[in-house]
Chain A
């Protein structure tokens, strides 16, 4: 089984398949990479170029499976590639398994559901989650020459303000168990302990917090020292995106899945806890 692993800058999705006995080749969208087998002669800036790059690789090498990282330009390329060659695409896999002689993508779904998804395409296409970088051995990559892409020309690229959640050491996360009238108290609590406030997607959808505060799949991944989850049930999309050293969870539902991940599990109403906690902290200062 031969696999081509495609990424732009973040290659840690490789960790998710390290144990599988594929023959692996790597392709990076970054022309300066020396740690892969294939690079483009110029940086890939749109999915049409991405597909051109992959197409030229597979003209000369046969692969049974193409595994794409979940970086934006790579995901765009994966879907464009699927359309161009009429292939099934399994998105958002968190791992790949071998089951009954088939490659299975494990896809986190809604609430606590996970789906095992298979593809009848050849080659199989899977987008796999990635969270950072791993060390790959030094290589002498083949350079792939691409056509000039005029269909979508990049005019400007401006630096985006770094999302403070990404580097926060302490994060207070809020979910649907936090009522609107409790939010000011949550902000005050976060201010007092020097924490950033993040939230689950439904909280942003109803406008309680801006979209850049969403922690989750297709939003921000965070790695704080301490994560304090208030009223968060623990949907897979959210939990999988939090890589905390220590998690405190407060939830009135004794069956909330967040309690499976938390180190300190408080089964009480958020408003009850936060009121008294604010009094304690203010009297301590």
Chain B
């Protein structure tokens, strides 16, 4: 089974540059937590099947070091897509770039897994967009993925718990409840020393210019202001009196 995991790198602390209306990415970075849940779902297959895991990530070149840490979890290939022209991509442009990378660099894949949404963008658009570009089925909010007679059985949570039988290849995005995240194993740790992150730019991928179709026109932050009706002492007594007055106690 060839599994692709799309991993996003997000700022540890999210703040906005009001001039460019973009997220500031100068500080520390972390893996998008839900994408590590997705990675663990892929690693589960590795425990029972002959499975190869490729991670694809679109990020600035400085994140190569962080991405190299993925090898110790048992990832076979890590592909970094990096180019100044990728910066500021909206979800449809991002999905297009990831889709092209999957087609051109991975070629044969059975399953694509990723988190339901990223901590920074939080749109949840990318999974469905990539799946549609690749013309493969898409199910989100998954809490378990199992192989089942050449297809996969996917359990997902909506207003009900639904179990789907899904044709492969497919793209599945996962929720936090799917597992407890990745952990290092000694075998992968030893092997990780020989592995290198593969770096591809717009030029090496030959994607051409890809324009975003949505644009942040402006951002507005509500300015902090002092509130005149703040209670600064005896809050306990005031809440107690309120709870008594409305009959809660």
Contact = CB atoms under 8 A, between A and B. Distances in A.
Contacts of A268: 231-233, 235
Contact of B220 (A113, A117, A153): A113
B167 A265 contact: no
Interface in A79-124: 79-84, 86-92, 99, 102, 104, 109-121
Tell me what chain B mostly uses at the interface: helix, strand, loop, or mixed.
mixed
A134 interface: no
A274 B227 CA distance: 22
B92 A89 contact: yes
A109 B219 contact: yes
A207 to B, nearest CB: 10
B161 interface: yes
Nearest to A260: B227
A155 interface: yes
Given A47-B138, A118-B214, A154-B164, 4 more contacts: A76-B138, A89-B214, A104-B217, A116-B218
A89 B166 CA distance: 25
A255 B122 contact: no
Given A113-B16, A267-B231, A153 B128 contact: no
B85 interface: no
Given A72-B140, A276-B236, A160 B124 contact: no
Interface stretch (A21-29, A135-143, A174-182, A277-285): A277-285
Contacts of B164: 46, 152-155
B70 interface: no
Given A72-B158, A79-B127, A158-B160, A284 B227 contact: no
Nearest to A270: B235
Contacts of A257: 222, 224
Given A83-B92, A259-B230, A48 B138 contact: yes
A105 B87 CA distance: 22
B7 to A, nearest CB: 17
Contacts of B125: 78-79, 82, 89, 91
Interface of A: 45-48, 51, 72-73, 75-84, 86-92, 99, 102, 104, 109-121, 150-160, 170, 192-194, 204-205, 211, 217-218, 226, 228, 246, 248, 250, 254-255, 257, 259-260, 264-268, 272-277, 280-281, 284-285
A275 B235 CA distance: 11
Nearest to A120: B213
B65 to A, nearest CB: 24
A43 B7 CA distance: 33
A230 to B, nearest CB: 10
A246 B248 CA distance: 13
Interface in B160-180: 160-167, 170, 175-177
Contacts of A76: 128, 138-140
